[in-house]
Amino acid sequence: MAEAFRDRATPGPVPVLVSGISHDRPITEAMELGVIDDLCVGCSYCLMACKDDALVVEGLCEVILENCTDCLRCLLWCPTGALVYS
């Protein structure tokens, strides 16, 4: 896993944001958070960052979209840029 981090460690692209009362949110119209499986190394950093039970990591990460509040914590913590809005 350490080798995968070295090879791939790069921040994920942060989507265009709109300012909100509690925090800035991505503009999600026609976009949703997803995982690029080829970049996910199963480290669970995203899981530890998520406060809304919106992620499952069983080998690879999966997003439970109905729980996701678009807080961006996971995306900012993911060391490989595997979490993206598209």
Tokens of 68: 């996701």
How far is 76 from 5, CA to CA, in rounded Å? 15
Residue from 45, 66, 84, 86 that binds ligand SF4 (CB under 6 A)?
Answer: 45
Q: How far is CA 16 from CA 2, 8, 43, 44, in A?
A: 31, 23, 26, 25
Does position 35 interact with ligand SF4 (CB under 6 A)? The reply is yes
Does position 76 interact with ligand SF4 (CB under 6 A)? The reply is no
Q: Can you give the binding site for ligand SF4, defined by CB under 6 A?
A: 33, 35, 40-46, 49-50, 52, 54-55, 57, 61, 63, 68-74, 78, 80, 82-83
